[in-house]
Each structure stands twice: as C-alpha cells, then as structure tokens.
Amino acid sequence: MAQEVYPGITVDRDVQYGRPCFAGTRTPIAAVLGAFAGGSSFDEVMSNYLMTEEQVRTALAYAAAQLDTPIVYAAS
C-alpha cells in the first residue's frame, strides 16, 4: 500500500522496492534527479519522463527537504 511521504510522492514496498516515486507511477524520484545530474535540461526531463513542470519541481523540492533533515550521530 502506497504511503505519501511528500505531496505528490509516495513509497510502496511493492513499487520500485520502496523507493520514493511520483504518486500513481513507477517513476522514481532518483531517476529524475539523476537525469539532472547527468546534464539533462528541465525540458528534456519533462519530455523523457512524460512529466509536468510541477512534478519536476516537486522532485527537486523533495530532494531539498531530504537534504535539509539533520543527521544525528551517536556518541562514540
């Protein structure tokens, strides 16, 4: 069963092994981010993944939110 982890983004252990995906799709957020890292333009990403501008911006916002989460290390 899919669980929304961010508006428009869900995780489901039976879809892409539980990786975050766009709601109602099997498209992982990581694939979109990887396309940008590989040099794809905004328009290329939208075209290649059949996504709207809003969906692409959602992926970027989700990634930014994840990176803004503090990491707590255990004392050694």
Distance in angstroms (rounded) separating the CA atoms of residues 8 and 23: 5
Domains along the chain? 3-67 (1.10.10.10)
Is pLDDT above 80 for 1? yes
Q: Where are the beta strands (DSSP E) in 1-76?
A: 3-6, 9-11, 21-22
Is pLDDT above 80 for 76? no
Task: Give pLDDT tens digits for 14-73.
Answer: 999 999 999 999 999 999 999 999 999 999 999 999 999 999 999 999 999 999 888 888
Residue whose C-alpha is closest to residue 65's, from 21, 15, 7: 7
In this structure, the strands spanning 21-22 and 3-6 are: unpaired
Q: Give the model's pLDDT for residue 50.
A: 94
Q: Give the model's pLDDT for residue 70.
A: 84
The pTM is what? 0.84
Q: Give the model's pLDDT for residue 19.
A: 96
DSSP assignment, residue 75?
A: P
* R_g (Cα) of the chain, nearest Å: 14
